[in-house]
Amino acid sequence: MRRRFVVKSLLTVTAITVMLTVIPIPQEAILDEMIANCLVAGLMAGVGVGLVLRMGSCDGGMDLIGMILIQTKGRFSVGKVNIAANCVLYGICLILFDIPTVIYSLIYSVICSLMCDRVHTQNINVQAMIVTKMQEIEPLEIEIMGRMNRGLTCWSAYGGYTGEEKTLLLTVISKYEIAQLRSIVHQFDPEAFVMINEDVSVDGYFIKKLT
């Protein structure tokens, strides 16, 4: 991981420690319904952890292990790693605690992990297809490959209705990079047609830009 990631992670862990110390813990559940408490807590915690990861940081623990596995193996996510670890942990808790406590804990953990993965957009792969009428597409290719460090595959195409010659460009990026790609494309061709297919499976060499 980059040095910037380590520094941000240290600041994040410090901030979390301070907040957990300062913010008072209520003696009783805020909501009467325990499942509602689990859902709200899971949503809030998942979004919070996801935002931390999205900003190129980490709050330590299993999240850090998840980031390392994503960087080295590719087919992982922080949420999936957390769910796997918590299933083992709660299996042990079945021996020590009552079943309802374990069930409520699992509900919280699953909601938190799912929300974390949805917010951590750097780990969501998308396929982008660009259809442009530009005659000289080399400047656009150079800009995408140079600024985004992503490869491109190009085809010659034509409009089914007009018969007009067009060029189709295909690339795979992270969901976090969609706005940047659209900005680059519309800078060169405001009328370009951009299609995004989310959560595609990628095999082979693909750079994970997590930080």
Q: What is the pLDDT of residue 100?
A: 87
- Please give the Cα distance from 192 to 185 (Å, whole number): 7
Alpha helices (H) in the chain, listed in sequence order: 3-22, 34-54, 62-73, 78-96, 99-119, 138-148, 178-188
Per the listing, tokens 């509602």 go with 36
Q: What is the pLDDT of residue 163?
A: 84
* Angle at which helices 34-54 and 99-119 cross, to 10°: 30
Sequence letter at residue 54: R
- How buried is residue 123: exposed, middle or buried, by Cβ count under 10 Å (0-12/13-18/19+)? buried
Instruction: Encode the chain (211 residues) as per-residue pLDDT tens digits.
Output: 778 888 999 999 999 999 999 999 888 878 888 899 999 999 999 999 999 999 888 888 888 888 888 877 767 788 888 888 888 888 888 888 788 888 898 999 999 999 999 999 888 889 999 999 888 888 889 889 888 889 898 998 888 888 888 899 999 998 899 999 999 999 998 988 999 998 787 777 777 777 7
Other beta carbons less than 10 A from residue 20's beta carbon: 9
Q: For the chain, how many residues are written?
A: 211
Q: What does the angle CA 142 – CA 188 – CA 140 come to, to the nearest 5 degrees?
A: 15
Q: What is the pLDDT of residue 94?
A: 83
Q: What pTM did the predictor assign?
A: 0.78
- Please give the Cα distance from 123 to 182 (Å, whole number): 19
Q: What is the pLDDT of residue 136?
A: 86
SS3 195: strand
- Two tokens, residue 206: 């693909």
Q: What is the pLDDT of residue 122?
A: 85
Give the closest residue to 134 by CA, choosing from 163, 167, 160: 167
